[in-house]
Amino acid sequence: MCRYRMSRYEEAVKFLDQAIAVKPDYIVAFSSRGAAKSSAGDVAGAIKDFDRAIELDPKNTFAFWNRGEIEIKQGNYDKAIADLTKASELDPTYSYPLQLRGQAKRAKKDYQGAVADFTAAYGLFKGAYILMHRGLTYMDMGKTAEAKKDFDEAVKLYPAIKPEIDREIAKTKAVAATVAGKTK
């Protein structure tokens, strides 16, 4: 991460520290500081702030899906799925928690559940990244025709995603080859 961006996150954290010092129950400050800490790589601090935001407001969708996103990065898929399910229940019109939950389910090899979440997310927001992730899940399932259809549609929606799709396909194939090599 470039120094400029890092310094901006650090400035944001300092500002939000001051806001919380003045108003210790300032929910938005905890959620925002958690996001800034997450961006700056302070995972434990981010989770602590999201925990506090949820404690102060158990309907804080932003805190639930941000904490869920961090849990995915930490490999805590069950915790992530619980948080993202709650976020989706709190705001069923928002696609991002469903997309993230699909990623957590894919990581757990719950491919049917992942496809269902990506499909539901795509129904709320026609996003290229949703299609890319669903296509990768179809690849995991051996459904290459469905995967190709999703990749082609993603590129139509957002042509600049093509190199990322190619990188993700290569990673998925490498993982599959490694797993196949271990089972022989």
Over residues 66-77, the mean pLDDT reads 96
Mean pLDDT of 78-83: 98
pLDDT tens, residue by residue, 96-121: 999 999 999 999 999 999 999 999 99
Rounded CA separation 100/86 (Å): 12
* DSSP per position, 121-183: HHHH---HHHHHHHHHHHHHTT-HHHHHHHHHHHHHH-GGGHHHHHHHHHHHHHHHHHHHHHH
CA distances from 139 to 6, 16, 46, 142 (A): 36, 43, 33, 5
Checking if the pLDDT of 46 tops 80, the result is yes
Quick one: pLDDT band at residue 19, thresholds 50, 70, 90? Answer: confident
